[in-house]
Structure 1
């Protein structure tokens, strides 16, 4: 009977788990790139952002809506938050917002070692978005002003990448 109560209690607390607890951490770009290669069943929309970046936070709901409404793509966000803020700021933010897209965290803060692997012209500014279809990609450093603008950009990019 005690075992049953323990299982019931465990399941009760498990029901409160959040997407933020499922945060995938990449120690370096090679790990992120491997993840991308292993998740190529449909085109990816990869958004680079941070909680300290106001334009990034402003556009995240557009990526959530894209995730929910555009079945042609998989949305993956890559947080570039500071290490010290993952537990105190990033995870609480994600829990509060309850985003359902894939949330990842790039631990490698030696940006100059890997940003050119995403795009040779990337200055390192965020927000930035990378549309990947197979071995082709389109990259932009920009804030999207609306869901409609983001969705149109994604759909036009997919047309160009086909």
Structure 2
């Protein structure tokens, strides 16, 4: 009888834990991830207002990209006044089966879009002629300033320092 009681307690606890989901994370992960060619993405890379943007190009298969995502997410959580967009370079066919589960598993709730444009030789130079095409690649900008980072960020403080020194003067 004692084993039965332990089993019932376990099932009740498991049901409770499953029902106590992080609704914010569920809402973000279940939302559509728009797929753009470069022409569709390009307007997201410019602004006419003084709001600061952080746009990060990344992919699930890129280890330095994956390692910096928690820092970018933490920065986005702490700074809702900065628009953060993660531009996935993964395959559109993998959105439901790989990308959304990856985002959920890693608790990434920041806005994600997917860039599906095979003519990288044309659009990389439009973003920045000095960009080799390597990822991670981050753009920080507002209507007056623009900075490019062809590297990963080491931690949250690394991102905060770059934003602070370039936009909070």
Normalising by structure 1, report the TM-score.
0.78
Answering whether residue 93 of structure 2 is matched by residue 84 of structure 1, we say: yes
Q: Is the 8 A contact 1:44 1:73 kept in 2?
A: yes
Whole-angstrom CA distance in 2 between matches of 1:40 and 1:26: 25
Whole-angstrom CA distance in 2 between matches of 1:151 and 1:111: 30
Whole-angstrom CA distance in 2 between matches of 1:51 and 1:80: 8
**Structure 1 residue aligned with 2:30:** 21
Whole-angstrom CA distance in 2 between matches of 1:84 and 1:92: 13
Equivalent residue in structure 2 for 1:140, among 112, 135, 149: 149
Gaps of 5+ in 2: 1-22
Supply the RMSD in Å over aligned alpha carbons: 2.5
Query: Which digits, 9 at most, give the CA deviation of each residue in 1:16-75, with x for residues without a partner?
Result: 944233243242222112234479562100011000001100000000111011244111
Answering whether residue 75 of structure 2 is matched by residue 66 of structure 1, we say: yes
Q: Which structure would you say has the larger Rg? A: 2
Q: How many residues align?
A: 147
Report SS of the residue matched to 2:34: strand
Equivalent residue in structure 2 for 1:55, among 24, 41, 64: 64
Distance 1:48 1:120, change over 3 A: same
Runs of 4+ in 1 over 6 A off after TM superposition: none
Equivalent runs, 1:82-161 vs 2, <5 Å = 82-134=91-143, 136-159=145-168
Gaps of 5+ in 1: 1-13
Report SS of the residue matched to 2:44: helix
Normalising by structure 2, report the TM-score.
0.75
